[in-house]
Amino acid sequence: MAQLTDDCFAFSGPLLPLEEMERLIAERVTPVAETEQVPLLQARTRVVARDIVAPDHLPPFDNSAVDGYAVRHADLKTNDDTVLPVTGRLQAGSKDNVAVQPGSAVRIFTGAPMPQGADTAFMQEDVTVEGDRVTLPSGLKKGANMRHTGEDIAKGAVALPTGTVLDAQHIALAAALGLTQIEVRRQLRVAIFSTGDEVVEPGQTRGVSAIFDANRYLLAEMLDRLGMVVTDLGILDDDAAALSRAIEDAARTHDLVITSGGVSTGEADFVKVAVESIGKLVFWRVGIKPGRPVTMGTIDGAAFVGLPGNPVAVFVTFVRVVKPLLRRLGGASPRKLTALPVRSAFAYKKKTGRREYVRVSLRTRPNGEIEAVKHPQDGAGILTSLTQTDGLLELPEDITKIEAGDRVGFLPYAALLD
Ligand code: AMP
Ligand code: MG
């Protein structure tokens, strides 16, 4: 594969479009191959390594969806009430072999197996009962209020395809199918560093020109949510040789090494140089704002991403660059994020050729429409612009402005962090 050099994306040159970036990631990054069996309650965030096929029908037997009366639809009058004697009773879990005889009804409860011969259930709210007779109104369709064998998933069908990232609902499905373990790819090992002579650890003495490290905490939390095994390697000085050594060391024992800071074109921005000296640069300068100088490379089979220093740029590039990379590395299917349509409450100008992310809060207009209000501060270093908002507007590459009232795409933080 031809190595991209910085000539392609030189400072004044073009920016790598995000879609192209995702393609490059897919091309250059090989998913981890090792798999393991994990118990259901340890499977959240893990990636399904082999299609999970339903070993049985779900539900495994026809059963009632309501508390009411099970009947044979053929016994019902089409234009009048039908009165039937109630000849049996079935509760959920009942093992009784109850059949509904022609011209009779069986008292039934939600989840109880449908009695033999019954094909329809009435809700108890819809009928009147006198003694042991039930009066059933006309008009109910055959098959109503029951759950058919295999209607959720049929035996032999793929319940959870390879590449699924497991969450509570997937684990519930595996449990409903009677499974106790799932074969998943191994967890990814990710190392994180901060860089910068000015960056100090919270709790340490802060010199007059120093700032406390926010980025490692942001990264550690976001990675932990995704189920990564995180190694925190602390803060590195702006020293090219030390940086190269530390990144190279970490790359030996991790699938991905992430740094923040030191990727723009300042004199102390050594990260790109370091990657070029110890590995291969895959891309540098992406069409994304904030976060343009984000850098990716490979170092002896490990992946490397150099994020910008400003915390909001770290957040945005984590979501848009690191996450697709982690999915690819972890063997997960790519994820399509759908931005939700909302109205912009503000006018905004942007350059073409980059996708821009604007921090906004949502509010509801009197007409019920949801509109997005821009945070008053849009600096990439303003952490409160993340803590005081609900999510990001995603403005596409080709547009140059939005007007108040325009329809725009909104991505809630919760969806971005998953
Ligand atoms: P850089 O990309 O290294 O030029 O950093 C851009 C800005 O982000 C500078 O103002 C840095 O001080 C700031 N910054 C860098 N690393 C961190 C960090 N770990 N936590 C908070 N701010 C940082
Ligand atoms: Mg720096």
Question: Does a structural domain hold residue 230?
Answer: yes
Q: Is 213 in the pocket of ligand 1 (CB under 6 A)?
A: yes
Of the candidates 301, 329, 357, which is a domain's last residue?
A: 329
**CA of 380 relative to ligand 1 center, distance in Å:** 10
Neighbours of 239 (CB within 10 A): 15
Ligand 1 atom at minimal distance to the Cα of residue 260: 16
Q: Is 232 in the pocket of ligand 1 (CB under 6 A)?
A: no
Asked if the model's pLDDT at residue 101 lies above 70, the reply is yes
Q: Sorting pLDDT into bands at 50, 70 and 90, what band is 13?
A: low
Cα distances (angstroms) measured from residue 361 to each of 32, 198, 347: 38, 32, 15
**CA of 260 relative to ligand 2 center, distance in Å:** 8
64: left (phi over 0), alpha (psi -120 to 50) or beta: beta
Same domain, 369 and 323: no
Same domain, 127 and 224: no
Same domain, 28 and 103: no
SS3 252: helix
Structure tokens belonging to residue 314? 């770290």
Of the candidates 302, 329, 356, which is a domain's last residue?
A: 329
Question: Does a structural domain hold residue 264?
Answer: yes
User: d(Cα 8, Cα 13) in Å, to the nearest integer?
Assistant: 7
Q: Is 291 in the pocket of ligand 1 (CB under 6 A)?
A: no
What is the reported pLDDT for 7? 42
Half-sphere exposure of 277 (CA within 13 A, CB side): 14
> Does the bond joining 39 to the residue before it have cis omega, within 30 degrees of 0?
no
Q: Is 279 in the pocket of ligand 1 (CB under 6 A)?
A: no
Same domain, 316 and 195: yes
Asked if the model's pLDDT at residue 9 lies above 50, the reply is no
Question: Does a structural domain hold residue 6?
Answer: no
Q: Is 379 in the pocket of ligand 1 (CB under 6 A)?
A: no
How far, in whole angstroms, is CA 203 from its chain's centroid?
34
User: d(Cα 160, Cα 376) in Å, to the nearest integer?
Assistant: 44
Neighbours of 204 (CB within 10 A): 11
How far, in whole angstroms, is CA 407 from its chain's centroid?
24
Sheet strands (E) in 215-294: 229-236, 256-260, 280-284, 288-289
SS3 272: helix
SS3 146: strand
SS3 52: strand
Structure tokens belonging to residue 304? 């490397």
Same domain, 221 and 268: yes
Asked if the model's pLDDT at residue 279 lies above 70, the reply is yes
Question: Does a structural domain hold residue 11?
Answer: no
Question: Does a structural domain hold residue 95?
Answer: yes
Asked if the model's pLDDT at residue 10 lies above 60, the reply is no
Same domain, 310 and 246: yes
SS3 50: coil
Residues 254-268: tens digit of each pLDDT: 999 999 999 877 766
Same domain, 260 and 381: no
**68-71 and 105-108 beta bridge pairing:** antiparallel
DSSP assigned state of 383:
T
**CA of 268 relative to ligand 2 center, distance in Å:** 7
Structure tokens belonging to residue 390? 């609900």
Cα distances (angstroms) measured from residue 121 to each of 68, 69, 93: 7, 5, 17
Question: Does a structural domain hold residue 253?
Answer: yes
Find all residues with CB under 8 Å of 145, minimum gap 6, and list them.
Answer: 64, 65, 66, 68, 120, 121, 122, 123
What is the reported pLDDT for 265? 72
Mean pLDDT lowest for which of 5-19, 62-76, 292-306, 319-333?
A: 5-19
What is the reported pLDDT for 3? 40
Q: Is 317 in the pocket of ligand 1 (CB under 6 A)?
A: no
Question: Does a structural domain hold residue 74?
Answer: yes
Asked if the model's pLDDT at residue 12 lies above 60, the reply is no
Ligand 1 atom at minimal distance to the Cα of residue 235: 19
Sheet strands (E) in 170-292: 181-185, 189-195, 199-200, 211-212, 229-236, 256-260, 280-284, 288-289
What is the reported pLDDT for 269? 76
Our mutation pick for probing the ligand 1 site, out of 292, 310, 314, 385, counting the most ligand atoms within 8 A of Cβ, is: 310
Same domain, 320 and 192: yes
Our mutation pick for probing the ligand 1 site, out of 260, 292, 295, 307, counting the most ligand atoms within 8 A of Cβ, is: 260
**Do residues 193 and 171 touch, judged by C-beta distance below 8 A?**
no
Q: What percent of the chain has pLDDT above 90? A: 92
Same domain, 265 and 307: yes
Ligand 1 atom at minimal distance to the Cα of residue 293: 2
**CA of 232 relative to ligand 2 center, distance in Å:** 18
Residues 191-201: tens digit of each pLDDT: 999 999 999 99
Residues 18-28: tens digit of each pLDDT: 999 999 999 99
Q: Sorting pLDDT into bands at 50, 70 and 90, what band is 4?
A: very low
Structure tokens belonging to residue 260? 């923040």
What is the reported pLDDT for 270? 84
Same domain, 236 and 370: no
Averaged pLDDT for residues 319-346: 96
Ligand 1 atom at minimal distance to the Cα of residue 262: 3
The domain that contains 272 carries what CATH number? 3.40.980.10
Cα distances (angstroms) measured from residue 231 to each of 2, 85, 88, 228, 262: 31, 70, 63, 9, 20
Averaged pLDDT for residues 17-39: 96
Q: Sorting pLDDT into bands at 50, 70 and 90, what band is 5?
A: very low
Of the candidates 87, 118, 147, which is a domain's last residue?
A: 147
What is the reported pLDDT for 266? 73
The domain that contains 131 carries what CATH number? 2.170.190.11
Q: Is 331 in the pocket of ligand 1 (CB under 6 A)?
A: no
**181-185 and 401-402 beta bridge pairing:** unpaired
Averaged pLDDT for residues 40-51: 98
What is the domain range of residue 309? 18-34+187-329
- Classify the C-alpha dihedral 278-253-19-223 as positive or negative: negative
User: d(Cα 305, Cα 254) in Å, to the nearest integer?
Assistant: 12
Averaged pLDDT for residues 378-401: 97
Mean pLDDT lowest for which of 1-15, 173-187, 344-358?
A: 1-15
Question: Does a structural domain hold residue 105?
Answer: yes
Mean pLDDT lowest for which of 168-182, 266-280, 374-388?
A: 266-280
Asked if the model's pLDDT at residue 293 lies above 50, the reply is yes
Residues 148-162: tens digit of each pLDDT: 999 999 999 999 999
Same domain, 143 and 255: no
Q: Is 199 in the pocket of ligand 1 (CB under 6 A)?
A: yes
Residues 221-257: tens digit of each pLDDT: 999 999 999 999 999 999 989 999 999 999 999 999 9
Cα distances (angstroms) measured from residue 320 to each of 18, 25, 288, 378: 8, 12, 9, 18
Q: Is 198 in the pocket of ligand 1 (CB under 6 A)?
A: yes
The domain that contains 358 carries what CATH number? 2.40.340.10
How many domains, in total, are found in the chain? 3
Structure tokens belonging to residue 104? 């009779």
Same domain, 103 and 234: no
Ligand 1 atom at minimal distance to the Cα of residue 310: 8
Between residues 106 and 335, the one the model is more confident about: 106
